[in-house]
Structure formats: C-alpha cells, structure tokens
Chain A
C-alpha cells in the first residue's frame, strides 16, 4: 500500500486542457473520491495515475517513486473499469488469475490466491462459470477480484458502479466500503454520483473544468463548500445561492437582505466590493411568520418524511426542506429564517467562499 502524490499534473489534448496543473495527496490507505460532472478531468486524472494516459507535465509519486512516465504494467496498481472489461474468452477463475499468470506466479499459488479472493468477495461458487453469463453485481465482483488478487499498491476505480441499477448500487457501495476497511488499500474512486462519493469516501476532491475545486472530508465539503460550484454540485437539492447586494466588512455578524436582517457567521475577512452570494442549505432554512424576509410558496415536492418547498423570494427561488407534516399551500405568504451559524458567503466574482466564523470550527477540529 502506498501514498499517491500528484504534483502540478497537467494534461492537454491539443488545445483542450483536461487537467490544469493540479496537485493533491492521497494518504496511504484512504478511500479517495474524485467527484465532478462529466468532462471535468476526473477520469483523465485517474488514467494518468494508472498509466493509461501520459501527462503533458507534472509528477505522480506512487509510494515516493515518480511513475508519471512509466508504463501501466510497471506501476503495480490495479484498475477497475466502468464496463468491468472482463475477458469474455476466459472463465471467472482465469479472469481473476490473469494478472498473476503475467507475474509468473506458480500455478498452485495462483489457484489458492484466486480461491481466497473469490471467497472474500463471495463468488467462489462462480469460479468455473463463463463471465458472459454473470449478473451485473457478480461481474463487478469478478472485476474487483482481478484487482485484489494482485495485492497492488493502489486501486483505481473508474465509475465501477455506473452500470448497475440503483438497488444494487447501494449494496455494492456498502460492500466496497467494507472491503476497503478490511484490506486497507489506497483507493482512488472516480464518480459523478455524489451519493456514492459521500457514502464511501474518506476524502473527496471535487473537480470542475480541469481543476480541483475543493478537497476535504465529505462533511467539510457539505458543510463548508469552498466555492459556489461545490455548493451547487453537492447536495440534493443543492445549496440555495441567493445574491445579496450588501457590503460586508470583517467582523460583520448580520446581513441585510430585502430589508430583513439575517444573522451570519462572523466575517473573518472583508467581502470584496463586488456582489456577494449567500449560501444556505435547504435544511438550514425554516418557516417563521415573524421573519421580515418573506416570500410566496411556489410549489412542493413530497419526499416521504420531508418535503421540499420552493419559495419565490425577491432574489429568485429558494428551496426549503421541512418535515412533510407541515402544511403549506401554493400561493401562501411565508416568512423565512436561516440557521445563522451554518450559512456560507461567496464572492460572486471569483466564486470563492469568504472566510467567516464557520471556518474557525474547521480549524478547531470540526463541529
């Protein structure tokens, strides 16, 4: 097992720059997710770590050794493909054993290691089946088996659950995480599905147009998004981003919006002169008739225990997550209050978050 360090990694395809001089470190033994919309450079980054794509410039350190320009076969990493890439002309046993055959492992040892791996993944009863007859989840397990059997320095996975149906995906998510907890292998997992990333990862890097926008634990990314992109991308429904005109200086504790005063975490830096944006998660907004910040109910989405209420406010639309038992009607006038200590403020120009008391909590070890 090894730590993976990426330094100033860049990849250009002609004029298009897929990955823009990015650096990050994946700690030894952690489950690391690269999360982002399609075309953000996450798969390219993963393929460069794997050696399937050569970087334009930069370094990739695998356990301290620079492998950026080495062949994939010389890197000792395993890769799980989205479409599994199980060799159709081999049965399950030969698929799993294929990497060992290459390393000239003695036949008897291949047999025992393949069987151990199969048992770990609970596919030992399928060993002599053809891979073409397997169900999606079992194919996935065979692909994982082929990766695990080598005991590589790191596992790389490119949306491995993308083709499974939802029900199965949840199950595989759980299994993958359990598997990771057992074998403690450094894992880099690429996905565009935030639920997968949030539920499995120790650390998530959110990528957008070739850049890592934020790197942190799932909680950090959810509670303290570093950019408006992250705020918008993570969470369902995503964070409400309300443009506000007020000018804020360091030390400010309230924000004036449409005549109402809203409590915010104490500002730790001056807001830039340009427009700022208030970020509030739907579950951090409450209905309160006493509030001066008012709007009109536009519609509701029923989610079982909770409901999402869309409220028209002077700045646009705000989504509020409230218990389903609360009775609201379209067209009704409501007042909104915000949980003051959970709000984020962004500089609209750069998209970056403005430092506030919210980030003190991070420094002092989380909330």
Chain B
C-alpha cells in the first residue's frame, strides 16, 4: 500500500530524469549558439596576429588594440619621428607606437554608430506610434473594408523588403532622400509598421472596451481615455513590438549598404569596411561588433519586465 503511494507519480509533471535530459539539451544548445558571440567577443581583445592565428588561440594575451584601431585612423611613421614625440598620452598612443604608427585622427565608427542609434530608435518610435494608433482604430471602430485593409498591411511583408530595393533606390535619388537619416527612418518605419499594427492589434483587442467607456463616462475625451487608460495597459504589447522593430532596424544591412554611403551610413555596412594594414583588421571588426550589440542588450534588459509577458502574446492575461 505504502509502496504504491511512494512510486505513484503525476501523469502531467515530467519525471526527474526527463527534466534532467531536457535541461542538458537546452544548455548544450545554448552553449553552441553562443560560440559565435564568444568568438566575436574574444577577437575584439586579440592582437591582429593572434586574431588570424591557426589553429585559433583560445588562450591569448588580451589587448585593447582592436578598440584603439576601431576609433582611430593611424599613419606609419619613422622610428626617429616617433622617438621625437615625447611620452605617449594614452594607452592607444602606446599600442599604436609599438606598431611604428601614430594616431592621425578619429575614425568614422562613432558617427556611424550615432547614425544607427538615430535611425533605429527613430524608426522604431514612428513605427510603434503609428502602429498603436492604427491598431486602436482597427480594434475599436467600424472601419469600412477593415479586413481587406489589414490584409493589405500584412501583405507588405509577404516579400523580402529588399525585393523593392531598386525602385526605392531610384525614388530616393529623385527625392533627395538617398544617404539621409530621414530617408532611412522613413524606410524602416514603412517596413516595421505592418508588423507593429498586427502585433499591437492583438494586444489592444484584449483590452476590454469597458475601460475606455468608463473613462469617457468619467468625463474624459476618447483621446484622453486612450492615453490614460489604453496605453498603460498596452505597455506590454508596446514593449514587445518596440523590441521587434528595433531589432530589425538596428541590424538591417541590405538597404543600408544600398542607400547610405557617407553622411547617413549606419554601423552594419561600416563595420566590415574597417581595413587594417595588409588586410582586414579583425580585432577592430570584433570590437565594433561587440559594441554594436550593447544598445539592443540594454534596451531589452530595460524592457524585460514587460517583454516576458508580451512575447507570450497576452496569453497569461487574467
């Protein structure tokens, strides 16, 4: 009798063994997925010779050379000239001089990074703002042909955006939007807005109308009710949508290569063009990529409270 009780197990809860196997698989998969990330991180701290060493060095003397090279341009000088300069001012001076070079000026990485920030956050802001307003309208009002309009909005994502690259390129050249931050913001907003409308409509549909009705009876206009009652409750959905939009805009490469080359160039097309002496400057590329990951990471961590609930698409409501 008591024997039967101790061996009895729930039919829904996994057994400890199944749990352990599942955990092992998940951890292994996570580790494998993180190898490229670790590679990039390590490359950023290697010296150029170490970075191309074969077999790859797992243990190496860390160096800031990659980061120095990322932010500077350098010129080769004679040893006499370098001797005459006096003591090095910064750690980068010191590293550069060991390679018989001096720092000539800042590189383009910082302005390109700044462009990325402006364009990605700008387009995310507009895509989410437009998305939440349209989603609200689709969710609450009787709109003629609402289903067709929603399908049309979705259909803009049915082909890869790059398929329309050539017409957009020509259009942008005519309109003077080529290589401008505004042009890139408009483009990424247009690509993301359909995603934003669809995602947010789902979230707003789940917010009972009674909340706005209560606010309107309490004396607020619909717009007020929207800002004071609907938006706070849609925060989860807005956070999730914003992250999806930001990831797209931040990582977008093809349009950025095609439409930006100077002033408005973003970081993704810039990073691979970092050239050192006698080939690619891999440590600088690694450093540039590592830094490039940070904003997304920070944004995601800041919104993670909303995100966990948001990505389950409101399934845990109530």
Contact = CB atoms under 8 A, between A and B. Distances in A.
A88 B213 contact: no
Most buried by B among A50, A99, A103, A150: A99
Interface of B is mostly: helix
B233 A146 contact: no
A99 B208 contact: no
Contacts of B217: 50-52, 72-73, 75, 77-79
Interface residues of A, number: 23
A147 to B, nearest CB: 9
A85 interface: yes
Residues of B in contact with A, size category: 10 to 19
Contact of B213 (A79, A89, A102): A79
B233 A88 contact: yes
A98 interface: yes
Contacts of A103: 219
Interface in A122-174: 146, 150
A247 interface: no
B233 A81 contact: no
Nearest to A83: B210
A77 B214 CA distance: 11
A222 to B, nearest CB: 33
Nearest to A143: B214
Nearest to B224: A102
A99 B233 contact: no
Contacts of A150: 218
Contacts of A102: 218-220, 224
Contacts of B220: 73, 102
Nearest to A53: B213
Interface in B223-268: 224, 229, 232-233
B77 interface: no
A98 B216 contact: no
B221 interface: yes
B190 to A, nearest CB: 32
A150 B215 CA distance: 13
A85 B213 contact: yes
B211 interface: yes
A103 B218 CA distance: 9
Contact of A71 (B208, B216, B233): B216
B229 to A, nearest CB: 6
Most buried by A among B218, B221, B229: B218
A87 interface: yes
A85 B211 contact: yes
A193 to B, nearest CB: 20
A89 B232 contact: yes
Contacts of A50: 217
A51 B224 CA distance: 17
B229 A87 contact: yes
Contacts of B224: 102
Interface of A: 50-52, 71-73, 75, 77-79, 81-83, 85, 87-89, 98-99, 102-103, 146, 150
Interface of B: 208, 210-211, 213-221, 224, 229, 232-233
21 contacts: A50-B217, A51-B217, A52-B216, A71-B221, A73-B219, A75-B217, A77-B217, A78-B218, A79-B217, A81-B214, A82-B210, A83-B210, A85-B208, A85-B211, A85-B214, A87-B211, A87-B229, A98-B215, A98-B218, A99-B219, A102-B220
Pairs of residues from A and B, 7 with the lowest C-beta to C-beta distance, nearest first: A85-B210, A99-B218, A102-B219, A85-B214, A89-B232, A79-B217, A81-B210
